[in-house]
Amino acid sequence: MSLYRDNVLDYVNNKYKTYYVDESGMSLKDEVRADHFADVENVAGYSLVKYSENGNVRRYVYKKLPAIPRGAKLTEYVTTDGLTLRDAIVSNKLEDSKDIAGYHIARRDENENGVKWVYEKDAQTPVMTRFVEYGTHQVLQDAVEGLDAAKPSLINGYIHFLTEKLSNGDTVHYYKRQEHNHKREVQTRWVDTEDELSKIRLTVTK
């Protein structure tokens, strides 16, 4: 079965696919197919930097953690969802928490490698939603600020391609230019026998 046909059948059957990959796209764990997206997973030696959704596909993207020499400690700064807020630090001691704009400390988790400072997003911190062209990052629409991310907009000449949530809480909607975007109007008119009433139907075709 072709990959395209496989994806179409998954979409029709409401099957969701979740991937766990590194920044180059290499798989780090087996993909998960289910009737909903799978949750984020811990991947040894990696930290989660972002995740994106495209239709029925979600990708968790991880960054390799720095090597830890013998006797050194690793300090990480992450959200409650596991997203990395700042680069991990390797040193000969456990590092203190850091002030991170828009977040407050939820807890301190110790592990065999060191410590993980876990942060929660401040309740009233606004987030930005941006609308850009995929590949060029050309701004297609003014950014929207709010407490929640805005949904993808309809932008003439473009189709929504990908949504990416950043570790700072902002969201980016990516669009691709729509090929052969030619439109024509077809007007159909119904008139009664006495020409007293007319109805106009306007149809836009591509």
The DSSP annotation for 80-129 comes to TT-BEEEEEEEESSPPPP---TTEEEEEEEE-SSEEEEEEEE-TT--EEE
Percent of all residues in the chain with a pLDDT value above 70, rounded to a whole number: 80
Tokens 């407050």 locate to 104
Cα(122)–Cα(101) distance, integer angstroms:
9
Class of residue 172 by CB neighbours under 10 A (exposed 0-12, middle 13-18, buried 19+): buried
pLDDT at 154: 93
Q: Which residues pair with 173 in a beta bridge?
A: 131, 163
Q: Give per-residue pLDDT as tens, 122-143.
A: 877 788 999 999 999 999 999 9
Phi and psi based region of residue 93 (left: phi greater than 0; alpha: psi -120 to 50; beta: remaining) = beta
Over the stretch 4-35, which tens digit does the pLDDT of each residue have? 455 555 544 558 999 999 999 999 999 999 99
Question: What is the predicted pLDDT for the residue at 132?
Answer: 96
Cα(66)–Cα(179) distance, integer angstroms: 43
Confidence at residue 126, expressed as pLDDT on a 0 to 100 scale: 84
Q: Which helix (H) or strand (E) holds 32?
A: strand 27-34
**Positions of the chain with pLDDT under 50:** 1-4, 11-12, 183-206
Q: pTM here?
A: 0.55
Q: What percent of the chain has pLDDT over 90?
A: 64
The whole-chain average pLDDT of the chain stands at: 83
